[in-house]
Every structure is written in structure tokens, then in C-alpha cells.
Structure 1
Amino acid sequence: MSTPSSTPEDLVKPKMTQRQVLEALSGLLLGMFVSMLASTVVSTSLPVIIHDLNGDQTAFTWVVTATLLTTAISTPIWGKLADLVNRKLLFQLAIVIFVLATAAAGFSQDTTTLIAFRAVQGIGAGGLAALSQVLMADIISPRERGRYMGLFGAVMAVATVGGPLLGGVITDTLGWRWNFYVALPFAIAALIIIQRTLHVPAHAKRKVSIDYLGIVLLSAAVSSLLIWVSLAGDSFEWWSLQTVLMVGGAALATLLFIVVELRVKEPLIPLSTFRNLTFTLAVIASIATGIAMFGASVFLSQFMQLARGATPTEAGVMTIPMIAGLLLASIGVGALITKFGRWKPFLIVGGVLLIAGSFLLSTIHYDTNFALVSLYMFLLGAGVGMTMQNLVLVVQNTTEPSKIGVASSGVTFFRSLGGTIGVSVMGAALATKVTELIAERRDDLGAALASLGTEAQKWTDQLSSGTIPQVSAMPQALRVVFEDIYAQGISHSFLIAVPFAILSLIAIVFLPNKPLTRMTTSERLHAAEADFATVSVPEAMESLSATGAIPTTDAAPAESRKTTESDR
């Protein structure tokens, strides 16, 4: 007697309704809101924080770089774990790590402690960045994802616009330490809602193997490179023994990492993914996106406070044009991609805007008309909005379902790595340029100090300490000189992003223009299992019939059972 075999339709679960998708997204959105709020609420306060903790420009850069570094290193680790263990639990763990480290940073008494807690914060941020993309792919198909981008846009709007404004108000009224505590109640709410609403399909359990050696080597390679970029030219010469040791160590660790990844059973970053042309080109493009996104968020706030004398609250308001460009482009392009199914033209336009925004911001001065500065910020934000999420989207569209976690986190990793290196290089260039300009403007500074009378000694002591000055509190004569110095330094640092933006556009142009599938990752996994079942069962029956175990007439040809994803 023959037994009816399972068909693909039996194995593929029905699509989630829009209400079910929204319920599942609610916890995911709140978790992302927590991470974004905790990051953006501090952005406008950093110049004040570093000033109060007696930090210099190098400390300012490392407070940002420490978070980006650990975010970059931990992102592929979280992505790999997402392919192996419970993704929902991982997302909740990432929220806990992120928020507790953020709150602990509020107790810092010096920049070293602050940098350490910010590094731990980055570990949680890496999980949130990687897992949010993976979980979204579990419940929403690439083609339909644009429909829900409005929700993500709303979350981004509240966090990215409201965060800096809230941070500025808190800093000006309660003190900057309270910025690190504001996310705690939201985090508790996020954990509860995620537990109740986010229900992702279960995946087949398998033995977990973590590439610990790969983690160590990747951390060593990236850390050595960034420490060298931050310290070279200041603590030691660019061409020196320290440079040879750090760069050589980074190169050796990278080489060993590649060897390990080729040999281990479960590589942290499977090098086979680079055979996928879409993945490789998206990685190249993501590096420039990371430099533009993180570099702008760090140095534009510093420009507003140090080159235009704004308070933290004012700086939050003044960076709104960039956020507006990011949000409008992200939401608008997402809706258009869902409606028409075409993505490449939007990515190309985004690449062009990245080049334009980066170059134009490299031309600004302390007295540049703010309407022009706003336009330049808007263009850069729109370029980031058109490219950032859509590069992950096109990679997920062409990647095997079982490797979605690794592929998604891979793109996010290189975006974070690009941002980390970009911020480090831009920060080093800024520090060097400011030092040169202060030496060139020694006469102007002397004249400005001489005009202050009895207050001259106070400002001389403060400036000679090496800490970042609070420009908004300076006397007018001194303030004008420092605004000009920092404006030139920051605009010079933006020029570094231009060649990377050009490289990003070239990579985008050559991306294979493949149509977006309407199947979620979970549906594709079940479909793959169905294909395996419909091929394996008939072949097994043919084998049994050949031995006489079952009648030959009961064995259907394997070819008649095969289905493809396109048939479905």
C-alpha cells in the first residue's frame, strides 16, 4: 500500500496576516527604539561630557570609536549565533547588555572608564543591529518590506530627532549624566513586549559550534588597526617602530583569521559568501555608508558646538536637516520599492547623494550660511537613507535562507567597520589639523587673550590643559578664533569620506539587478525542506522497490515531485 508523501504546500506555513506582522514588529521596533535613543540622546552632549571629564580630542574620538569597534567585532558573532540558536532570546540579551552598559557609563569619573563602558555598550549594539535585520527577514519578505518601513521611519524619527533634543535639554538642565539613564524604563518595557508579541518560527535544532579563535583574531586585527590610526601622528610618528608593530600585527592577525575561517566547521564569517557577487559589492558599498553615517553623526554635532558656538540643545535642533533627509529617503524609497519591485535606481541615486553630501560638507566654514549647511546635511542624510537598509535587503534577497544571519550581519559588520575606521581617521585628521591651525594662529590667540584683561590667565590655563574647549562659554574675541579653527578642521575631515563614497557608487552600479522575492526567510526554509522531501522520498521508494521491498508501481518518478521556488 502506498503512503501519500508530503508536498511543499503541506510544509510551507501560511503567510502571516498584516495584524500578526504588526504585533510581531511591535517588540522589535521598541527594542530598536531603545538602542537608538540611548545612542542619540548622548550625541549632542559629548563635547560637554569630554570637557567635564578633562578629555582631549583623542578621548572624544575614542568614546565614539570604542562603541563602533565592539559593535563591528560583535556583529558577525551575533549573526552567526542567530543561525544556530534562539534569535528572540539573543535579541533580548542584546537589549540587556546595551542598556546596563549605557546606565553604568553615567557613573564615569574619567574618560577611560567612560570608554570602557561604551565598549561594552557596543557589544549589545552589535546584537541589536544584526538581529533586527535577521528577525525582520523571518517575518517580512524583501518585496513587501518597504510597506512597513514607515513604522521604522517613525521610530527613527522619534529617536534620532527627539534623542539629541532631549539630550541637549537634559544636559542644560539636569546634567549630562542623566542622558545615560533615560533609556532604562523603555528597555524594561521593550523586554516585556518582545516576550509577549515577538513569535518567530522555530528552526531545526543542530549542534552549536562557535569559532572562538576567529573571534580573538578578528578582534586583534581590528583593534590594532584602530589604535594605530588614533595614536599615530600624536603619541608617535606615522613612520615609526610602533607603526610597524601595530600595522604588521593587524596584517598578521588578518591573515591568520582567513586561514582559520577556511578550516573551521562553523566559520565566523564564511569566506564562501564572497563568491556571491551581490554580497561582495554590497559590503564594499556599505563601508562608505558607514563612514558617512557615523562620521556625520559625530562630527556635525561637534561642528555645531565648536565651530558655531551652539549649546547641546541648539546643536540637536541644528542637525535635524540630516535626519530629515535620512527619514524621508528611507520611508519614501521603501514604499516605492514595495510598489514597483525595483531597487537599483534608488541605490544609484543614494550613492550620488553620498558623494555630493560628503564633498559639500568639506567646504563649510564657521560663517557659512546655515541654509547651505542644512542643504548639505539633507543631501548626505538622503544618501544614507537610500543605501543603508537597502544594501542589506538585496543581500538577504539572494542569500541561502540558512545563511541569512551570517550574510545580514556581514554587511552590517563592514558598515560598522567602515564607520569605525572612518571616525578614527577623521578624528585623527581633525586633531592634527586643529593643532596645526592653533600654531598658525598663535598671534591671533595672543591678541585675543590680551584683550581679556584679568580673565586672560584663566583661559590660558584652560587652553594649555589640552582638553576640548567649551566654545559657547568663551569671550567673543577668543570664540571667533576657535570657531574658525574647528570649522576648518572638521570640514577637512569630511573630505576623507569622498573617495569612499565614490567607491561605493561604483560598487552599486555593478550590483546584479535581481528581482525581489515575495517569500520570507521562514517560507524559503520550509520550501527548501519541501524540495528535499519531495526528492528524497521518491528516491528512497525507488531504492526499496528495486530490492523488492515494495511493489514497483507505488514508486512515483522523482522528477514528477520536484518543485522550484519560482513554481510556487
Structure 2
Amino acid sequence: MSKAQQAPSPREGGVVAAMSALILAVLLAALDQTIVSTALPRIAEDLHGFDDIAWVSAAYLLASTAVTPLWGKLGDMFGRKRLYLASTTIFLAASVACGLARTLPELIGARVLQGVGGGGMIVLTFALVGDIVAPGERGRYQGMFGSVYGVASIVGPLLGGVFTDQLSWRWAFLINLPFGVVALAVAARALPAATRGARARIDYPGATLLAGIATGLVLVTSFGERWGWGSPAIIGLILATAALALLLLPVERRAAAPVLPPAMLGSRTVVFSSLIGFFANAAMFAVLVYLPTYLQIVHGVSATLSGVSMLPLVAGLVISQSLAGRWAAHAGRLRAILLAGLAANLAGLLLLGTIGGTTSTLVLSVYFLITGVGIGMVPMVVLTTVQNSVPAADLGAASAVVTFARSIGAAFGVAVFGTLLNTGFADRTRALPAAGGFDAARPDTIGRLPGALRETALDAFAHATAAGYLWMAPALAAGILLAVFLKPASRSSAGAAVATARVAEDDVRTDTGQADRDTGDKGPIAA
């Protein structure tokens, strides 16, 4: 065998290097969504801000979700590589600012900036995969990123606890710097040269409306229970968000380069896939966030051991992500994979709906494995389906739509499940005495109850957790129904359809934009 046959081609070596840098970047951005959760009590103590400590997590989620569509569109217009390097630089600079923060407002402000960078890193990474690999191979590579994302959701809180207990909570942020610099350097060399899309004015009105919609949705889901679902603040946010959503489509139709192209949003593949991603992520984060809580409270294990107990779920997630990517690449049966994944995820939720205070570790491991298999088969297949249905010029915007839907789904799932859990637990323990400070509205006070009463409360918390998963099951059932009617198209045919629709949109805008084009302008100003 010749040397040329033995060694990988320069292209293959470049893909490996680029993928390694992108995977590391996604790992860092995903970790920062969850790594601070176990560090929050110590942060509140050090920075004297218990009342506003929830904003440390909400600020990152809010910023990363709000900027996702804008990063995707700017990448389409000005080249994804340069935007990716810029977002990574912002993320690293903000990580240093978080680690050096002296007050809670400083930390919250730095977390906003970190979310701006992290949101760009994630959506541009998914779009860059579309640039680097062929459509038939995207599922396999996207599966790697999905595995990293899922693992980060579980490992994040564990790392946050280790840093807080052994070093300092500041290392939860500072650790990003050495790894991020390496990822940045490799990406600068290995990513394909940036290419610009059609020159046009940035759709500032559309981006502003989307940011407002994202802000409203995240605030409602993050603080609905804390402020009261029927409070004037939450109702006002819901109404304002709905009003902004009604304004979005007319604004985007008039934009020369819309952040969310109306033709793309008219694609059943894009819309159905995004909704499936929303429902799947809602269920996924309800599992990833609250199962460790169940293990720690009901089974009395430490945060570290709760993570070890979740390893069957991680194993199922990683294995199914890899297999789903390979099946999608070789068989092209995207809808079948989605249906299988959603069905396994639904089965996992129904099984988790049977857990109690005495459920054995072995039984829990089986349930976790089945749930992990279901979780792993869905997210990246959804993204691949959408990317294969749009032209290359819209890869960033299409990736942003799916990422946006998944982010809102995650926030929605955590908020709804948290409400179901707390309400269910409070209802089941109202008759228990307030022994030693026990509060039926706070599961963390169970330990203050004496023996027999404590066992009753633990059983109530277990059953409230199980009931919450049963209530989440209809979300996955809705995803299955959407997947049944999903018709993934080849990239060429779907791309041509979207391109044809765009031509029609351009014709509609001809009258209003002709004068500007005659004077050398690139199109009407988005308004």
C-alpha cells in the first residue's frame, strides 16, 4: 500500500481538526448553561445577592437564546468562520469577566455577554458542519455534537460542585480560557475560508423583534412560578410577546435580507422539525435537570453519586446519537429514526412515571438507559433534516431556527416540570406538620421532618416527580404525530423549492425596492 493510501488526505485531516475544535467549543458553551447550578448558593454568599441569584442562570439562557437567529443570519451574510471566531472571542472574554466579578450585578452583566458569545458558538457550529461535510454525512457528525451537548447537561452541575468545593466557584468560568484558546487557535487554522453571501442590509427590525420574543419567552418560563403565573408581570409579558410575534412576519416579508426568511418558515419540513425539536428538548431537559434532584432527595445520594447513577442515561444517549447519525447517513431514513427516537423517549417517560421512593437502582438504570436512547436519537436528526431541506445560503438561518426552538423548548420543559413537581409535592404534603421548619412548598426541607414523617414526605416527592413525567408525555406524543406527517426532502429538491419561493418574494418587493436598486442600493430597508 502506498503512502498516499495509508495517510489521510489533507481534506480529511482538516475535517478532523475542524471538528475537534468545534466539539470542544460546543462543550464549553453547553457546560456554561448548567455548570453554575450547583455553585449558586456559594456565589450568592460571596457576592451578597441571594434575592437576585436566579439571574446568574437566566441571564445566560436569555442572551444565548435571543441572539441565536441573528448570529445565524450574520453568518450567512458575512461568512460563518469569522463570525464563529468573533463569538468565541466574546465568550472567552466574558468568561474571564465572570471569574473576576466582584459584585452580583457585574457577574450577571458578564453572563449576558457570555450568553451572547455562547449562543453564536452553538448555532454557528451546527451551520459550519453543513459547510464542511456533505449532506449525506451530516447526521453522523451532528450526532457527535448532540452527544457532547447531552453529556454536558449532566456533567456541568457535577463540575460546578467540584470546583466550588475544592477550588472556587470562579473556576467554573475561568476553566473556559485554556480550552477555549486552544479551540480558537485550531478553528482559525482548520475551518474553511469564510465566504460571504449576498450583500444586503442587516435586518435590524427583525432581529430586534426576535430578541424581544426570545426575552419574553425566557422570562415567562424562567420566572413564571417565582412571580406567579397569574401575576400582572407574567400576563403582561405573555401579551407583549404575542404582540411581537404577530409583528414579526409582516416585518420579515418586507426585509431585504430577513433574519428568518418567510419562504423558509413556510416549509413544512422546517416548521415540523422545529416543533419536534421544541417538544423533544422540553422532555429532555425535564429529565436531565430533575432526575438528579430525585436521586439526591429520595435516595439520599450526593451530587457526585447522582451523576454516577445517571451514567446509563448518558451511555444510551451517546450510543444512540452515534447510531442514529450513521443510519441517517447510509439509509437516509430520517423520519423513521425520528419516530423510533421519539417512541423510545416516550416509553422512557412513561417508565419514569412509575418510579417511587423504593424503586431499586437496577430498575432505575434500565429506565435511564431507555430514556437516554430516546433522547439521543432525536435532536441532531432534526437539525440534519432541516439543513438538508434548505439551500447552502440559508444554512445559518435554518440552524438558528432549530436551535432557537430547542432553546425555548428546554426553558419551557424545565419551567413546566418544576411547576408540576412543586405543586404536586405541596398538594401531597399539606397535612404534614411544619416540624423543625419543614415547608410543603420547599422539597429541600424534607430532612427537617422526624423519621416516619420524613419517609412519607420522600414518598410524596417521588410520586410528584413520577406524575410530572406522565404530564410531560403528551409533548412527545405531539412530536410523534408531527413526525408521522414530516416528509424530509432531498437537499436539492427542497432547496430549489425555497429558492423558487424566494424569487416570488423578490418579485413582490420589486415595486417597493426598485428605486433604491436603481440608485445602487441593495434593496429596501427592513422596516
Structure 1 gaps, min length 5: 1-14, 450-459, 529-568
2:265 matched residue in structure 1: 274
Of 317-326 and 358-367, the range deviating more from structure 2: 358-367
Distance 1:56 1:411, change over 3 A: same
Q: Name the Cα RMSD after superposition.
A: 3.7
SS across alignment from 2:388: helix
Distance 2:205 2:64 in 1: 18
Of 78-87 and 172-181, the range deviating more from structure 2: 172-181
Of 77-86 and 35-44, the range deviating more from structure 2: 35-44
Distance 1:421 1:146, change over 3 A: closer
Report if the CA contact (8 A) 2:146-2:380 is conserved: no
TM-score by length of 2: 0.80
Match for 1:25 among 19, 42, 67? 19
Report if the CA contact (8 A) 1:261-1:269 is conserved: yes
1:227 matched residue in structure 2: 219
Distance 2:258 2:473 in 1: 33
Distance 1:242 1:333, change over 3 A: closer
Match for 1:189 among 182, 193, 216? 182
TM-score by length of 1: 0.75
Report if the CA contact (8 A) 1:303-1:487 is conserved: yes
Q: Does 2:218 align with 1:218?
A: no
Letter in 2 for 1:412: T
Distance 2:52 2:359 in 1: 27
Match for 1:494 among 454, 469, 474? 469
SS across alignment from 1:367: coil
Distance 2:338 2:47 in 1: 42
Q: Per-residue displacement from partner, 1:230-286 (whole Å, max 9, x unpaired)?
A: 555654462x65454332222212112222222222222122212222111101111
Q: Aligned pairs, how many?
A: 488
Distance 1:232 1:40 in 2: 20
Report if the CA contact (8 A) 1:142-1:516 is conserved: yes
1:67 matched residue in structure 2: 60
Distance 1:182 1:439 in 2: 44
Match for 2:78 among 81, 85, 109? 85
2:484 matched residue in structure 1: 509
Q: Does 2:414 align with 1:423?
A: yes
Distance 1:237 1:135, change over 3 A: closer
2:524 matched residue in structure 1: none
Q: Could you tell me how far 1:497 is from its partner in structure 2?
A: 2.4
Distance 1:432 1:311 in 2: 25
Report if the CA contact (8 A) 1:97-1:120 is conserved: yes
Report if the CA contact (8 A) 2:422-2:441 is conserved: no
Distance 1:494 1:47 in 2: 27
Of 220-229 and 309-318, the range deviating more from structure 2: 220-229
Q: Could you tell me how far 1:480 is from its partner in structure 2?
A: 4.3
Match for 1:413 among 404, 411, 425? 404
Distance 1:227 1:42, change over 3 A: closer
Distance 1:393 1:48, change over 3 A: same
2:375 matched residue in structure 1: 384
1:370 matched residue in structure 2: 361
Distance 2:48 2:313 in 1: 30
Q: Per-residue displacement from partner, 1:138-178 (whole Å, max 9, x unpaired)?
A: 11012123554676578568756765554443344334443
Answer with 1 or 2: which has the greater Rg: 1
Matches of residues 277-316 of structure 1 in structure 2 within 5 Å?
277-316=268-307
Structure 2 gaps, min length 5: 1-8, 500-527
Q: Could you tell me how far 1:511 is from its partner in structure 2?
A: 1.4
Distance 1:103 1:437 in 2: 45
Distance 2:56 2:353 in 1: 23
Q: Among all aligned residue pairs of Structure 1 and Structure 2, give the percentage whose two residues are the same amino acid.
A: 33
Of 468-477 and 25-34, the range deviating more from structure 2: 468-477
Distance 1:512 1:205 in 2: 28
Q: Per-residue displacement from partner, 1:66-104 (whole Å, max 9, x unpaired)?
A: 433332221111111111113112112222333443454
1:566 matched residue in structure 2: none
Report if the CA contact (8 A) 2:58-2:222 is conserved: no
Letter in 1 for 2:11: T
1:457 matched residue in structure 2: none
Q: Does 2:170 align with 1:170?
A: no
Distance 1:492 1:58, change over 3 A: farther
Letter in 2 for 1:322: L
Distance 1:305 1:231 in 2: 24
1:356 matched residue in structure 2: 347
Q: Per-residue displacement from partner, 1:303-326 (whole Å, max 9, x unpaired)?
A: 233333322211221222222111
Higher relative contact order (CA 8 A, sep 6+): 1
Report if the CA contact (8 A) 2:426-2:440 is conserved: no
SS across alignment from 2:301: coil
Report if the CA contact (8 A) 2:30-2:153 is conserved: yes
Q: Could you tell me how far 1:187 is from its partner in structure 2?
A: 0.9
Q: Could you tell me how far 1:327 is from its partner in structure 2?
A: 0.5
Distance 2:248 2:197 in 1: 28
Q: Does 2:105 align with 1:130?
A: no
1:262 matched residue in structure 2: 253
Distance 2:448 2:168 in 1: 16
Distance 2:151 2:14 in 1: 24
Q: Per-residue displacement from partner, 1:512-535 (whole Å, max 9, x unpaired)?
A: 1435779xx9xx9xxx9xxxxxxx
Distance 1:507 1:28, change over 3 A: same
Q: Per-residue displacement from partner, 1:417-462 (whole Å, max 9, x unpaired)?
A: 1112222222333343444445332x2x42xx3xxxxxxxxxx3xx
Distance 2:251 2:10 in 1: 40
Q: Could you tell me how far 1:52 is from its partner in structure 2?
A: 8.4
Of 474-483 and 115-124, the range deviating more from structure 2: 474-483
